Structure 1
Amino acid sequence: MSNAQKTPKSTLEVLRGAVEALLTIAGQKQNELADGIGLSDYAVSRRQSRRPEARSPWSFDEADAIARHFGMPTLTLLAGAETACEAYASSRGATVTRLLADRNEPSATVKEPDSPAAPAAAASPESQSSEPEAAAVEDVTQLPDPEPCVLCQLPATTALEGFPQHVSADECAAAADAARPQEAPAESDGDQETDRREPASTPEPDTSQRPHPARERRPSRPRQERSDTKDTAVAFLRRNIHDALEQHNGDLEAAQAFLVRKAIPHAMELLDLTRRSGRYDIVAFPFLPDILRKPTKDKPDQIWEARPKWSRAWDSLPPGTHTVDELDINGAYLSALKTHLPLGELAHSEGPIDTIKLRRSGFHYVTPGEWKHEHLPNPLGARDEDGPLWIGEPTLRQLNRAASEKYGRLCEPPQIHESWTSGSTEHLLEYARAALAEVRAEAIADNDTVAEEYVKAMYSKLVSTMGDSNFNRDVHRPDWMHIIRSAAFSNLWEKAFKANAAGLHIVRVSGTDELHLIGDWRSAVGAQGRPLFPEGRALTEVKLKNQRTITTGSEA
């Protein structure tokens, strides 16, 4: 058996190994490689992922770009890590051993207490003395006791905006490396001696290296004001539209078709651009519980999004002839981007949980209360079965609101059996949403169909492909997809509830944007005296799509 042939590595495996080795001897990080080859950080992270299910392949063009970045022919890069590293070292007049030794010298100098060069070496970089320290004081607080990081669920001693979190992805990785040796001894009693010795050698380099990645990365993402971030994103969208029109010599149809085809990569670039000033990096490929995994390609996962498809029984309407106004809700998915999204990996819990108080979001296995109202749609949507089910955060909060005194106690609150949640924020996609909304408003004001269709394609395709799609290989967040969709359905239910409270009759509620009413909806006002349904094309307004006449009761 020892002479059995080993399975040869694929070209992609060889390329990944070569890239990892080159980054090591060059002293570069993945974000530096991303900048050098024109990809986003998360795209490089996915292509180099150690989890097979999270990987996406390098393309031939990207392999050429990597080779140019490291200054070697593409065939040399594809020959493997050893050949590529030797070529890289040779181009710099050194050997691989010499480059690795040079990389280790600065850390040795800092560790040496008696060396006169140590204080100068430690104090000379401005990024380690002034700017990072100021940023750390402003953004980072120390926790009295370690708490699970919202991104990786491993113990963290720091917090950002009250959320326990490592200050960089490198610290998350270091925490994961430190946790592995502690679990190994439980697997085999015979290997306890080896397992006990291994952790003794790993903490020293980990503790000496942890502060450095954090201090090197933080200055590269300077704080910006909200308006600066949004203005940068708006300029990015305008430039894309201008370039497309120029590239197609003013042909509106051709430019629009081109922009719609580019909607997904442009949306991912927009996310990357708008998160540069944020406190939290987007975790593109987190661990997913089984409830978010499809059992087969053609079968859905276990999450119920509460999509409405409700029509009112005509015998519950007042008798007579009525005009039904079919209203369309503008930009439903764009508005739904502002919802509480999980930041990192989802953690399991049993029993009731107050996600609002704990600032968490995720999915919950609940038994909902009975719905007995013919004049209002069920917040759970078009569900034919009874019993417990998995729902997203927006649906849970909607059911709790419906059960509250403010809403007239329409049902009993759902009973939570178990949950998968993570620390959350409502503003994760807010900069991107605000930029898309501004360009959309400009396009409508200028009657610019190219820009309007471009924006619509960006937010709709972003939501539809961020879950599990071959058309978007840069992010895999089915949890976000479900929650955003559920938020859009919940927003529509809210409008139906307010219409009913204002004395209008609801005839139909369907999808994300279809609301059919009987009554003077233009004059309807809410509890604060504001118009419920201002007419127009803005995100806060509605459009009248169609009118029809129905006859009910004895006159039918």
Structure 2
Amino acid sequence: MSNAQETPKSTLEVLRGAVEALLTIASQKQNELADGIGLSHYAVSRRQSRRPEARSPWSFDEADAIARHFGMPTLTLLAGAETACEAYASSRGTTVTRLLADRNEPSATVKEPDSPAAPAAAASPEPQSSEPEAAAVEDVTQLPDPEPCVLCQLPATTALEGFPQHVSADECAAAADAARPQEAPAKSDGDQETDRREPASTPEPDTSQHPHPARERRPSRPRQERSDTKDTAVAFLRRNIHDALEQHDGDLEAAQAFLVRKAIPHAMELLDLTRRSGRYDIVAFPFLPDILRKPTKDKPDQIWEARPKWSRAWDSLPPGSHTVDELDINGAYLSALKTHLPLGELAHSEGPIDTIKLRRSGFHYVTPGEWKHEHLPNPLGARDEDGPLWIGEPTLRQLNRAASEKYGRLCEPPQIHESWTSGSTEHLLEYARAALAEVRAEAIADNDTVAEEYVKAMYSKLVSTMGDSNYNRDLHRPDWMHIIRSAAFSNLWEKAFKANAAGLHVVRVSGTDELHLIGDWRSAVGAQGRPLFPEGRALTEVKLKNQRTITTDSEA
């Protein structure tokens, strides 16, 4: 027997198997368990996920809650699926096999014609023995083809009272041991690595008869309408706000504090809700290249987000006294959720890559062009060192735009040396963003501080914890965090560029939402004849935070 077969199950694996089996014999669904133990359906789904990369662990307190929910001691629950199911059945004065028969009565009475036990069981059912194991052995039948065991979900060749099931816990354990090497086969030194980081190579299709066979034969997939998905998400947010106010008897401060504390789990539920009709599944725990891994807990990874921290030299401004308007960009991170995010695991490539044409997104090791402009901040942000660096997709696209004819060729395009990218979409978080934006607009119109702070906490904490945080165990996407943050910085640089193009003087650009200008920005017009900076609190507007006067021929 190999070492992998001798490795015992972990406590978490035993717990997950027991929960799955108990849900089966109790005829319950995950949402019923979630309600019973005080968790969201999303959280229970993540903890019971069969994909290791999407799985989050059960806690000790949650194991206690599960045991109470099914009416048994915690140690009995942790003893395994068979022991837990027998305890559950015993507490109800019956047996596991009888519970399974009651769970699906029509299928229990319909027996295969070649099953000798079927007529007898239907004509004269025998009373159950007081010993469940003895009764189960008497009702064992052989299955013509292996079927999933109702306890461990692994292939079983026997049935108890017509239900596919291993006769004992030892058989469940043996089936799990036999399946484990197939799930993670050891690779020899000479084998070519073909895991999910790189799609397995497939032969090229013969296109001589069919020019586009893959597209013609692809079945259509039914999807919800976007409005339905967004409306469902909006209703979810409104219900959370209403329930919080009701739970705290209308105390606005208490309800707001409660909602802010629940911002992260609610944000994850919102993602789950808005992705149910999506074309792509969110990969919560993908493979990460070394550039996204922190060398130590206190040191950052290698990605440069291009955060701006720029103030214009006063001697480059016209002499005299000027009024500086300090503008604030509304909902910078909320707007940045609409950006090109990689869907799955990042794949490595050497040399230049056209991510727009290939519809990919990720990170690139580049040597940027020199920046010589005093009137505009560098799209790379406040950088102290020269030379090549790793940047995210929004920064790369911003540098390429700055190097284009449309932007006046402000710099040379960056030279790409290598990249880590994946297929991408700009709409991965769009339904969630649209729902948050709508509830935010309603809150501002109604002067609802509770709802406004709740929405702000949801999108800001989602971005800050999706990378590497103990506060969010359900999503580990540092690549998304870096790209969203870089998109917010890039959006701010775009506003500075447009202000300069409209004849305004850019004085300061900082963070995600700080833009200081000299000039009549209210009457400034953009390229399409629309107001460049409409004033207000909407996501497409800006608000004036402060005004100050400077004199350029004096000390700063």
TM-score (structure 1 length as normaliser): 0.74
Contact in 2 for aligned 1:321/1:552 (Cα 8 Å): yes
- Partners of 2:68 and 2:112 in 1: CA distance: 38
Residues 249, 2 of structure 1: CA spacing in aligned structure 2 closer, same or farther, 3 A cutoff?
A: closer
How big is the shift at 1:207?
26
- Spell out, residue by residue over 1:319-339, the C-alpha distance to the aligned partner (whole angstroms, 9 max, x if none): 111110000000000100111
Residues 194, 360 of structure 1: CA spacing in aligned structure 2 closer, same or farther, 3 A cutoff?
A: closer
How big is the shift at 1:131?
44
How big is the shift at 1:492?
0.1
Contact in 2 for aligned 1:174/1:206 (Cα 8 Å): no
Contact in 1 for aligned 2:53/2:286 (Cα 8 Å): no
SS of structure 2 residue aligned to 1:407: coil
- Partners of 2:428 and 2:118 in 1: CA distance: 41
Residues 196, 326 of structure 1: CA spacing in aligned structure 2 closer, same or farther, 3 A cutoff?
A: closer
Contact in 2 for aligned 1:306/1:489 (Cα 8 Å): yes
Q: Structure 1 stretch 43-52 or stretch 409-418: which is displaced more? A: 43-52
SS of structure 1 residue aligned to 2:204: helix
Contact in 1 for aligned 2:306/2:489 (Cα 8 Å): yes
Contact in 2 for aligned 1:168/1:214 (Cα 8 Å): no
Contact in 1 for aligned 2:21/2:151 (Cα 8 Å): no
- Partners of 2:256 and 2:286 in 1: CA distance: 34
Q: Structure 1 stretch 313-322 or stretch 171-180: which is displaced more? A: 171-180
Contact in 2 for aligned 1:436/1:455 (Cα 8 Å): yes
How big is the shift at 1:497?
0.2
Contact in 2 for aligned 1:160/1:279 (Cα 8 Å): no
Residues 222, 6 of structure 1: CA spacing in aligned structure 2 closer, same or farther, 3 A cutoff?
A: closer
SS of structure 1 residue aligned to 2:184: helix
Q: Structure 1 stretch 158-167 or stretch 418-427: which is displaced more? A: 158-167
Residues 274, 201 of structure 1: CA spacing in aligned structure 2 closer, same or farther, 3 A cutoff?
A: closer
RMSD: 12.4
Residues 145, 262 of structure 1: CA spacing in aligned structure 2 closer, same or farther, 3 A cutoff?
A: same
- Partners of 1:265 and 1:552 in 2: CA distance: 50
**Equivalence for 2:545:** 545
- Partners of 1:204 and 1:120 in 2: CA distance: 57
SS of structure 2 residue aligned to 1:219: coil
**Equivalence for 2:232:** 232
Which consecutive residues of structure 1, in runs of 5 or more, have no partner in the other structure?
none
Contact in 2 for aligned 1:336/1:484 (Cα 8 Å): yes
Residues 55, 506 of structure 1: CA spacing in aligned structure 2 closer, same or farther, 3 A cutoff?
A: same
SS of structure 2 residue aligned to 1:189: coil
- Higher helix content, 1 or 2: 1
Within a 5 Å distance, the mapping from 1:143-542 to structure 2 comes to 223-542=223-542
- Partners of 1:160 and 1:226 in 2: CA distance: 46
How big is the shift at 1:290?
0.9
Q: Structure 1 stretch 533-542 or stretch 276-285: which is displaced more? A: 276-285
Residues 356, 74 of structure 1: CA spacing in aligned structure 2 closer, same or farther, 3 A cutoff?
A: same
Contact in 1 for aligned 2:81/2:151 (Cα 8 Å): no
SS of structure 1 residue aligned to 2:493: helix
How big is the shift at 1:164?
35
- Partners of 1:391 and 1:518 in 2: CA distance: 31
How big is the shift at 1:258?
1.1
TM-score (structure 2 length as normaliser): 0.74
SS of structure 2 residue aligned to 1:548: strand
- Spell out, residue by residue over 1:462-501, the C-alpha distance to the aligned partner (whole angstroms, 9 max, x if none): 1111111111111111111111000000000000000000
How big is the shift at 1:297?
0.6
- Spell out, residue by residue over 1:141-181, the C-alpha distance to the aligned partner (whole angstroms, 9 max, x if none): 99999999999999999999999999999999999999998
How big is the shift at 1:276?
1.3
- Partners of 2:104 and 2:214 in 1: CA distance: 18
Contact in 2 for aligned 1:128/1:216 (Cα 8 Å): no
How big is the shift at 1:221?
11
- Spell out, residue by residue over 1:331-354, the C-alpha distance to the aligned partner (whole angstroms, 9 max, x if none): 000100111111111111111111
- Partners of 1:57 and 1:415 in 2: CA distance: 43
- Spell out, residue by residue over 1:270-317, the C-alpha distance to the aligned partner (whole angstroms, 9 max, x if none): 111111121122111111111111111100111100000000011111
How big is the shift at 1:47?
3.6
- Spell out, residue by residue over 1:421-449, the C-alpha distance to the aligned partner (whole angstroms, 9 max, x if none): 11111111111111111111111111111
Contact in 1 for aligned 2:380/2:395 (Cα 8 Å): yes
- Partners of 1:523 and 1:161 in 2: CA distance: 80
Contact in 2 for aligned 1:150/1:423 (Cα 8 Å): no
SS of structure 1 residue aligned to 2:236: helix
- Partners of 1:402 and 1:140 in 2: CA distance: 73
- Partners of 2:137 and 2:358 in 1: CA distance: 24
Residues 200, 408 of structure 1: CA spacing in aligned structure 2 closer, same or farther, 3 A cutoff?
A: closer
- Partners of 1:142 and 1:552 in 2: CA distance: 92
- Partners of 2:131 and 2:46 in 1: CA distance: 30
Residues 132, 550 of structure 1: CA spacing in aligned structure 2 closer, same or farther, 3 A cutoff?
A: farther
Contact in 2 for aligned 1:320/1:555 (Cα 8 Å): no
How big is the shift at 1:76?
1.6
How big is the shift at 1:215?
21
- Spell out, residue by residue over 1:114-143, the C-alpha distance to the aligned partner (whole angstroms, 9 max, x if none): 999999999999999999999999999999
How big is the shift at 1:63?
2.1
Contact in 1 for aligned 2:37/2:69 (Cα 8 Å): yes
Residues 149, 464 of structure 1: CA spacing in aligned structure 2 closer, same or farther, 3 A cutoff?
A: farther
- Spell out, residue by residue over 1:240-267, the C-alpha distance to the aligned partner (whole angstroms, 9 max, x if none): 1111111111111111111111111111
Contact in 1 for aligned 2:310/2:381 (Cα 8 Å): yes
Residues 219, 21 of structure 1: CA spacing in aligned structure 2 closer, same or farther, 3 A cutoff?
A: farther
Contact in 2 for aligned 1:332/1:488 (Cα 8 Å): yes
How big is the shift at 1:41?
6.7
Residues 489, 185 of structure 1: CA spacing in aligned structure 2 closer, same or farther, 3 A cutoff?
A: closer
Residues 83, 198 of structure 1: CA spacing in aligned structure 2 closer, same or farther, 3 A cutoff?
A: farther
Residues 234, 113 of structure 1: CA spacing in aligned structure 2 closer, same or farther, 3 A cutoff?
A: same
Identity of aligned residues (%): 98
Contact in 1 for aligned 2:302/2:390 (Cα 8 Å): yes
How big is the shift at 1:414?
0.8
Residues 83, 552 of structure 1: CA spacing in aligned structure 2 closer, same or farther, 3 A cutoff?
A: same
How big is the shift at 1:224?
1.8
- Partners of 1:132 and 1:209 in 2: CA distance: 62
SS of structure 2 residue aligned to 1:528: coil
Contact in 2 for aligned 1:234/1:438 (Cα 8 Å): yes
How big is the shift at 1:185?
9.6
- Partners of 1:554 and 1:445 in 2: CA distance: 44
Q: Structure 1 stretch 73-82 or stretch 277-286: which is displaced more? A: 73-82
How big is the shift at 1:451?
0.9
- Partners of 1:494 and 1:530 in 2: CA distance: 16
Contact in 2 for aligned 1:25/1:96 (Cα 8 Å): yes
Residues 288, 127 of structure 1: CA spacing in aligned structure 2 closer, same or farther, 3 A cutoff?
A: farther
SS of structure 2 residue aligned to 1:171: helix
Contact in 2 for aligned 1:42/1:284 (Cα 8 Å): no
Q: Structure 1 stretch 506-515 or stretch 251-260: which is displaced more? A: 251-260
How big is the shift at 1:238?
1.0
Contact in 2 for aligned 1:318/1:553 (Cα 8 Å): no
- Partners of 1:113 and 1:306 in 2: CA distance: 71
- Partners of 2:356 and 2:140 in 1: CA distance: 23
